[in-house]
Amino acid sequence: MKIVGLLVGCCAFAAFAEPSVAPEAGAAGCSDGVVVSSIEFKGLEHTKPRVVERELLNRVGEPFSAEKFEAEKLRLQDLDLFTEITVACTPAAPQPSHLAPRSSSLTYTFKEIFRWIPSPAGKETDRDGLMLGLALANLNVLGEDIRAEIQYRTSTDPFLDNNEYALYVSSPYFFGLPLGWNFEFLRTDSYDDIRGYQDDSWLVDLDLDYALLPHLSLLGTLAGRILERAAFLPEFGLGFAFDYRDSKLDSRKGVYYEYMLTHVGGTDEFLVACEGGCESLGSEDYWELLTDARAYFTVSRFVTGATALARFRPGDVKFYDYYYHGGPNTFRGRGGTSFGGEDDEADSVRLGVHEVLLTLEERFVLMERHAASVLGVNFFYGVQLVAGLDGSLLWDKGHPGWEDYEGAVYGGVHLVIPALDRIRFEVGYRPDRGEPAFYFGLFDKVTSARWRSR
């Protein structure tokens, strides 16, 4: 979970003060069909040119295409390194028409997002609620598009009772290869009042994403977890993903489909801290079959998104890894705060081994992405209105029935920002509950539902 305080403060200030805000420009003076004679970059103070070059679709010696520029601009925005990206064409020295076609030099101009961020940090989970703390992040280590962050977070209610220490490092490339990787180290000391156990654990996780073809990636995961009074829980998995979205962040059109097969546990001989006769939580040994499907379609400012996340886990799954549905990361029909100020307390009623999360969401782009600068800090922000339907299926054995299904409607406002993708302020309503509840979330739900970050 990433970087909250500084971003929220800057974006809120910019939304009202509107300091030096400018919408992103297009391709100035560039005409389709003009041969690109050379390419140069401006504004790359902290980013190495090769980070940008590998995302470009317009090439030297090929005709310039405005359609390619719009596509490569989305690819560059996905790096989350720039607030503005523009291109301009400068005609090359004239040549006799019988010797060579018209040509131009392309100049890409970038405005970089802030790099070092010492700031407050926080996250919102179904289990611990709002957690706050401190973070130090570098969004572009060595100019190689490597993101690194250390965090300390603690619960706000009860205050200081649940604590986490985290290190995250990630990049879409590995030594020039299209091998995305994400490394996570997490130390947790937290009482889980939903599942009823003390989560005193250490987690090390490495996720890999190799771009085999332009729209096909091979996926891998390798992790190890040590949980007090349980066993050492190794995890390894393989999968693939088809990605035809126009953009990974704030997708507007296209489809995404992922399938992942993962094995967890299987080591019951390595029990931890149970020499004094304490009761063991037991070891796990199960497979997880994951399907993640997303589809997006846009008409004018209206973006329609339909997503489905399904996880089926045959084998021996212990209670401490049961899924819970309720809150902004899973099902916006439980776990929120009522308008009377009372919390809808998370409980063990909605626990299960297998899950399906369904969402149909309509977004209205109230304000497109704008670049801004406050006190020398460059960032961007946008505003979207949202409304949708949430569906939840959660069960233990066999096939799910209607008794395992719940539905809710929701609406709200999303603030689109760097690093966090978006901050979500939403109100959900479940008919059988009888009153709306407020939810606060970070990242797109399709991201946070996968993490469930403890």
Q: 209 with 323, same domain?
A: yes
Domain of 24, CATH number, reads 3.10.20.310
Do 255 and 298 lie in one domain? The reply is yes
227 and 301 share one domain: yes
**Which are the contacts of 60, defined by CB distance < 8 A and separation ≥ 6?**
36, 37, 38, 39
Give residue-wise pLDDT tens across range 387-437. Answer: 999 999 999 998 999 999 999 999 999 999 988 889 999 999 998 777 899
State how far the Cα of 227 lies from the Cα of 198, in Å rounded to an integer: 9
Are 277 and 260 within one domain?
yes
Please tell me whether residues 37 and 21 are part of one structural domain: yes
The single residue listed with the structure tokens 């009377």 is 340
Same domain? For 100 and 202 the reply is no
* Claim to verify: residue 141 and residue 283 sit in the same structural domain: yes
Domain boundary among 76, 111, 146: 111
Number of domains composing the chain: 2
pLDDT attached to residue 282: 84
Considering the domain architecture, whether residues 170 and 278 belong to the same structural domain is answered as yes
Quote the mean pLDDT of the chain: 85
- Report the predicted TM-score, pTM, of the whole model to 2 decimal places: 0.85
Confidence at 21, pLDDT banded by 50, 70, 90 = very low
Instruction: Find the range with the poorest average confidence among 76-85, 90-99, 269-278.
Output: 269-278
Give me the domain span that covers residue 162: 116-451
Last residue of a domain, one of 50, 79, 111: 111
Q: What CATH number is attached to the domain comprising 217?
A: 2.40.160.50
Do 326 and 353 fall within a single domain?
yes
Q: Which of 77, 111, 145 is the last residue before a domain boundary? A: 111
Handedness of CA 395, 401, 404, 410 (dihedral sign): positive
Distance CA 81, CA 45 (A): 11
Residues 102 and 127 in one domain: no
Kindly state whether residues 431 and 410 are assigned to the same domain.
Answer: yes
Assign 29 a pLDDT band (cuts: 50, 70, 90).
confident
Whether residues 107 and 196 fall in one domain: no
What is the rounded CA–CA span in Å between residue 27 and residue 23? 13
Using CB atoms within 10 A of its CB, is residue 282 exposed (0-12), middle (13-18) or buried (19+)?
middle
Torsional sign, CA 335, 337, 338, 342: positive
Lowest mean pLDDT among 72-76, 152-156, 319-323: 152-156
Mean pLDDT calculated for residue range 97-117: 80
